[in-house]
Amino acid sequence: MKTPEELGFHMPAEWEPHAAVWLAWPHDTTSFPFLEKAENEFADFVAEIHVSERVELHVLDEAMEKRAVEMLQARGVRLAQVNFRRAAYADIWLRDYGPIFVVNRQSKQLAMTKWGFNAWGNKYEALLKDNEIPYAMNESLRLRLFEPGIILEGGSIEVNGKGTLLTTVQCLLNKNRNPQCSKEEIEKKLGDYLGVRHFIWLRQGIEGDDTDGHIDDIARFANSTTVLCACQPDENDPDHRVLENNYELLQKATDQDGNRLRVVRLPMPAKVGDAEGRLPASYANFYIGNTKVVAPVFGTENDPAALEVIQSAFPDRKVVGLQARYLVYGLGTFHCMSQQQPAV
């Protein structure tokens, strides 16, 4: 069988046009101890993003759909823009367990790549069933489906749509993902199934991140040659040196054509957490929609500066900061919970 790359498919950049965004309504009080507050933050995201792209929203049952409808209507959401889909999902992190869509621009075809999901290195047995959700999605989408046969979460990679992919050693080369694969073998899978040919390997992610260093908390493309890199100016913070190392690596990196990248510092929030520990709060976990960039804020002093940096990187989109202090108890925010479906 030919690979997606051989058939002319590739993973587009997130700022390219979307037909829809896929989401799953929060429900688990283990992930979200302040569930109602997390639901409110989630509903705020839907209200912002539904204006310019369709929302495909997973719910467990009729009662959850009714609750979601009430909360969305209270925010003025046009329900014609929301498709409710019943599915037996465990958690909301669709970026990681959902499919990664690929496109063939010449033939105007959309396809799905379905990677293995092992709950971030078999950390959460109860969440392993989310590995089946892409199959459920494709029962209605009826897309051509490609299976690379390795473990990969969508939040662990970032592409510029031109052939370059960003990731971390801490995650993709972790022995709890694909111990049978070498770095070169993983790169070949990514090339064959996502149409990328140039790789930038950062080292590790932020403290409190149970995903083993997902890229979408530390470095994001804003366009094909610009990267927003999370930085922690406080030298006493445990993230300081880690993020400086990533910044230095990006400054030396090039794109697929050998051109140096423009690297912009994006501040980290002040420490977010409680007595039980630090939460992986990062402004880099923004979602790039068709007309808006929705960025998480946490009620810390760095919120305005971070939004200013993100807005400067996306002059053709409105940047909206939404509170995500209660979503991040689930160890992710807006980018982690979403997966865009490209338009073709």
Question: Any bridge partners for residue 258, and if so which?
Answer: none
How do residues 125-148 score in pLDDT, each as one tens digit?
Answer: 999 999 999 999 999 999 999 999
Using pLDDT thresholds of 50, 70 and 90, give the confidence band for residue 274. confident
Using pLDDT thresholds of 50, 70 and 90, give the confidence band for residue 333. very high
Rounded to an integer, what distance in angstroms lies between the CA atom of residue 177 and that of residue 179?
A: 6
pLDDT score, position 270: 85
Query: 171, 229, 231, 336: which one is catalytic?
Result: 336
**CA distances in angstroms from 163 to 12, 166, 196, 270, listed in the order given:** 9, 10, 4, 34
Rounded to an integer, what distance in angstroms lies between the CA atom of residue 119 and that of residue 127?
A: 6
Give DSSP secondary structure letters for 117-161.
--HHHHT-GGGGGGGGHHHHHHHHH--EEE---SB--GGG-EE-S
Q: What is the mean pLDDT of the chain?
A: 97
How do residues 229-251 score in pLDDT, each as one tens digit?
Answer: 999 999 999 999 999 999 999 99
Residue 10 gets which letter from DSSP?
A: B
pLDDT score, position 1: 86
Instruction: Name 305's Cβ contacts closer than 8 Å, sequence gap at least 6.
Output: 267
Instruction: Name 313's Cβ contacts closer than 8 Å, sequence gap at least 6.
Output: 222, 223, 226, 228, 264
Closest alpha carbon to 166 in 118, 218, 120: 218
Sign of the alpha-carbon torsion through 117, 120, 122, 124 = negative
| Helix pair 62-73, 35-49: axis angle to 10 deg | 60
Closest alpha carbon to 166 in 208, 221, 95: 221
Sign of the alpha-carbon torsion through 77, 50, 132, 343 = positive
How do residues 17-72 score in pLDDT, each as one tens digit?
Answer: 999 999 999 999 999 999 999 999 999 999 999 999 999 999 999 999 999 999 99
Rounded to an integer, what distance in angstroms lies between the CA atom of residue 212 and that of residue 176?
A: 10
Q: What are the boundaries of each domain within the chain? A: 18-342
How would you class 21 by CB atoms within 10 Å of its CB: exposed for 0-12, middle for 13-18, buried for 19 or more? buried
Residue 316: is its pLDDT beyond 80? yes
Rounded to an integer, what distance in angstroms lies between the CA atom of residue 331 and that of residue 130?
A: 16
How do residues 275-285 score in pLDDT, each as one tens digit?
Answer: 788 999 999 99
Q: State yes or no: is 336 an active-site residue.
A: yes
Report whether 200 contacts 253 (CB < 8 A): yes
Q: Spell out the CATH class of 18-342.
A: alpha beta
pLDDT score, position 273: 87
